[in-house]
Amino acid sequence: MTSTAVPTPPTGNSFRVPPPSPRLPGAPFLVFDWLFALAVVGVIGAIVRIIFFTPIEATQGAAQKIYYVHVPAALSAYLALIVCAVMSMIYLWLREVRADRMAESAGEVALLFTTAVLITGPLWGKPIWGTWWTWDARLTLTLFLWFVTAAYLVLRGAVDDPIMRARYSAVLAVLAALLIPFIHLSVYLFRTLHPMPIVLKPSEPSLPREMLITFSVSSIAFLFFCAMLMRSRYRLALLRERAGIV
């Protein structure tokens, strides 16, 4: 009786080519819809009001109008980070994968808006304070928040195991959100160059009526845009999951 060597498939650490992902026709149109278009129209409308229908402030000049994009970006970053932290807590509690997907989406949007805050802030500070940057509590804590949010996304990209990735990043997201009250109250707790809130404070807003209306319109438009970005990013995450990309 003769024996023949039967070739066996490679095992162990051999490199495996993943199967091709299924095509998802019309994927971009599943990510964006009419509600997203409405949010974009809202932001454009707010910018038109800021540019053409809002008076220029007497002492700061045109640079004061940066306020209407800087503060709504900060509020949107807070919103996205709070969503990220709440969804992370839900994941840690229920182990619900959809909550992890939502946290991931909100974390990415939070980094976008924190970046906008850190760029528009110095562009406002330079003509008013005479310097691009100062290491006061509000600015330093915001920069620290940016690094923690970036670390959250880097961590997600670095861990291969989906369960460990979701668990580690959820803990980091909850810790990052703890910075928000410190950032908001830092102007009261420390002596800072950054001005105190003129709208989001216990007493009456200190803005003239026309500027207050513009600020309110801009804040609502940006918060809605932020919510729609998180929704679109979540839909993209679901499509990636359907395509087998975890």
Q: What distance in Å separates the CA atoms of residue 174 and residue 19, rounded to the nearest whole number?
A: 36
Q: Interface residues for another protein in 175-214 (CB under 8 A)?
A: none
46 to 85, contacts with another protein by CB under 8 A? 47, 56-63, 65-66, 69-70, 73
**Selected binder of another protein within 28, 45, 55, 195 (CB under 8 A):** 28
CA–CA gap between residue 146 and residue 142 (Å, rounded): 6
DSSP states of 109-135 as a string? HHHHHHHHHHHHHHHHHHHHHSSS---
Q: How far is CA 88 from CA 91, 98, 165, in A?
A: 5, 10, 12
Total residues at interface with another protein (CB under 8 A): 44
Take residue 221 and report the two structure tokens written for it: 């438009």
**Interface pick for another protein out of 85, 99, 116, 170 (rule CB under 8 A):** 116
**CB-based contacts of 237: which residues, under 8 Å, 6+ apart?**
101, 104, 105
Tokens read off for 181? 């009250």
Position 43 contacts another protein (CB under 8 A): yes
State in angstroms the smallest separation of the CB of 93 from another protein. Answer: 29
Based on CB atoms, which residue is closest to another protein, 47 or 179? 47
140 in contact with another protein (CB under 8 A): no
By the rule CB under 8 A, 30 interacts with another protein: yes
Stretch of residues binding another protein (CB under 8 A), selected from 11-19, 21-29, 86-94, 184-192: 21-29
101 scored as a contact of another protein (CB under 8 A): no
Query: Which residue among 33, 94, 126, 201 contacts another protein (CB under 8 A)?
Result: 126
- Give the position of tokens 């989906």: 162
Phi-psi region of 61 (alpha: psi -120 to 50; beta: other; left: phi over 0): left
* Interface ranges with another protein (CB under 8 A): 21, 23-28, 30-32, 40, 43, 47, 56-63, 65-66, 69-70, 73, 112, 115-116, 119-120, 123-124, 126-128, 225, 229, 232-233, 236, 239-240, 243
